[in-house]
Chains A and B, each alone.
Chain A
Amino acid sequence: MRLSDRARDLPESGIRKFFELAEARDDVISLGVGEPDFSAPWAARTAAIDSLERGKTSYTSNRGMAALRERVAAHHERYDQSYDPAEEVLVTTGASEAVDLAFRALVDPGDTVAVHEPTYISYGPGIELAGGEQLTVPTRAEDDFALTRGSLEAAGAAEADLLVLCYPNNPTGATMTEEEHAAVAAFCRDNDLRVIADEIYAALTYGDDHASIATQPGMRERTVVVNGFSKAYAMTGLRLGYALGPIEAIDAMNRIHQYTMLSAPTTPQYAAIEALDRCDDEVTEMVDEYNRRRRLVVSRFNEMGLDTFEPGGAFYAFPDCGGDDEFFAEELLEAQGVAVVPGSVFGEGGEGHLRVSYATSMRDLKEATDRIATFVENR
Chain B
Amino acid sequence: MDAEREVLDVLARNAREDIDDIAAQTGLDAEAVADAIDALEADNVVHGYQAVVDWDRVDEGKIRALVEINVELDRETGYEQVADRIAKFPAVDALHLVSGDYDFAVEVLGETMQDVSRFISEQVAPMPEVTQTVTHYIMETYKDGGIRFEDGDDDDRLSVSP
Cβ A19 vs Cβ B24 within 8 A: no
User: Is A18 interfacial (CB-CB < 8 Å)?
Assistant: yes
Cβ A295 vs Cβ B27 within 8 A: yes
Cβ B160 vs Cβ A32 within 8 A: yes
User: Is A85 interfacial (CB-CB < 8 Å)?
Assistant: no
Cβ B160 vs Cβ A37 within 8 A: no
- Residue of B9, B26, B161, B162 with highest tally of chain A CB at under 10 A: B162
How far apart are A346's CB and chain B's nearest CB, in angstroms?
Answer: 9
User: Is A374 interfacial (CB-CB < 8 Å)?
Assistant: no
8 Å CB contact of A37 from B10, B14, B26, B157: B157
CA gap between A121 and B162 in the complex, in Å: 7
User: Is B81 interfacial (CB-CB < 8 Å)?
Assistant: no
By size class, the interface of chain A is: 20 to 34
Residues from chain B with a CB closer than 8 A to the CB of A13 are 162
CA gap between A22 and B159 in the complex, in Å: 7
Of chain B, the residue at the smallest CB distance from A96 is B162
User: Is A296 interfacial (CB-CB < 8 Å)?
Assistant: yes
How far apart are B8's CB and chain A's nearest CB, in angstroms?
Answer: 12
Cβ B21 vs Cβ A19 within 8 A: no
- 1/0 per position for A317-348, CB-CB distance to B under 8 A? 00000000000000000000001010000000
User: Is B121 interfacial (CB-CB < 8 Å)?
Assistant: no
8 Å CB contact of B21 from A15, A288, A366: A366
Cβ B26 vs Cβ A34 within 8 A: no
CA gap between A312 and B140 in the complex, in Å: 43
Some 18 contacts from A to B, beta carbons below 8 A apart, are A13-B162, A15-B160, A30-B159, A33-B157, A34-B162, A35-B161, A37-B157, A120-B162, A170-B162, A293-B25, A296-B25, A299-B24, A300-B24, A339-B160, A341-B160, A360-B155, A362-B13, A362-B14
